[in-house]
Structure 1
């Protein structure tokens, strides 16, 4: 029987355990990696791996072990756990993925979030469709301010949204069936046409003028997204 077995159960963890949450639990228990490994019955190497891969989802057996450990935390340890999660979710550079995550944390629609941030709805949609896009410096500062004002529960939801997005890179993007898989050139009636084949098998053919209009629209969308 370990020290954890002697504690009364007081909490239930509802989300999946990731490397980030495991590291937060170690912080809450104020244990070294070696001691944490011993009480969980895993190797110190596993603990180090979780710390280096915060978005990694732990296997089912380890999930159950972590559930037991978390359920037996006392109130002070739970507070330290939640505080650690908040600190670990701090943002250095905002991207479309982070902006979409904070929107989910606030449980706002595109229109509500756009109004809250003082931008157009198209900008919010662009952030969702382009998770690696980086908003302009003034928007980075606005997102910094918004993040600082989040409640603890909202920050935990933000962290969960980031974990989900990192585990599934397609999160927040268009479905694969609507994403261009191949762009080629074809001649129709002696005239060059752009042929776009989507991953789902759908194909569209554009004239030179239509291709130019599409390129211009994409440039405008990119400019809107950065703002």
Structure 2
């Protein structure tokens, strides 16, 4: 697939016949979670998947910070950093922006893996408001996966929507603008 834009992402949502909230949920966001809770779940799951204790994560964070030349962005004392790690993992605090690159380096993970980039209804709406917008690289992969795993009928609807005029995509009921009889003719050829 080429680079995803707001227009392509909107076309996929319409092809799937989903609401904005439904599409955000389909792409992997749980709307009841706050950002710090999303980060907490992702952080703890990623740490446990690596088989690390919080103490091992602390050592990985120190090593990652040294590699990045960002040692001053972590608390000086290990006890303080351990408290931070606990607070981040249980959702009491969100990871400060200055510490995010260190976490990404330590885990060898992406923004999306660690919950730093989230797919919300507002993100989906922004794609529709700005059809030329290029979603975050991690979201590009999520959208690729959503299209690849979609049923063939959805993939055909998506392709047909891309050749329609951009104004057609903006209409709320545009999912119904492609009659099913036409779709059947396209897929049966």
Give the TM-score range, shorter chain. Answer: 0.3 to 0.5
TM-score by length of 2: 0.40
Identify the structure with the greater helix proportion.
2
TM-score by length of 1: 0.34
Larger radius of gyration: 1
Higher RCO (CA < 8 A, seq sep 6+): 2
Identify the structure with the greater strand proportion.
1
